[in-house]
Amino acid sequence: MSTRRPRPQPPPGGLLDWRDQTHWSWTPKPCRYCGRDTNLRDSRRSPAHKTCAEAALQQQADEAADAYQNGQL
């Protein structure tokens, strides 16, 4: 019988550090995840809210962990 390790949780304040000015734009554009306007940009300069980007990263990590647990990777 295998024991499942708990999934790591993000640190307080989230996963991403967007304090750098490169994550800001004066021009609001629709977030790539939720569609609401944002001045924030991700590392590829795509419009994205920090919380939306963190939620997407968490979902990807959860899906990868599930796939690994089920022997799909």
Domain count, the chain: 1
| pLDDT for residue 18 | 84
Mean pLDDT of the chain: 85
CA distance 46 to 44: 6
Q: Is residue 5 part of a domain?
A: no
| pLDDT for residue 4 | 73
Could you tell me the CA-to-CA distances from 25 to 12, 38, 50, 64 in Å, in that order?
25, 9, 14, 32
Q: Is residue 62 part of a domain?
A: yes
Q: Is residue 64 part of a domain?
A: yes
Stated pTM of the model: 0.71
Q: Is residue 39 part of a domain?
A: yes
pLDDT over 70, % of the chain: 81
Q: Which domain holds residue 64?
A: 21-69
Render pLDDT for 16-51 as a digit per residue (tens, 0 to 9): 888 889 999 999 999 999 999 999 999 899 999 999
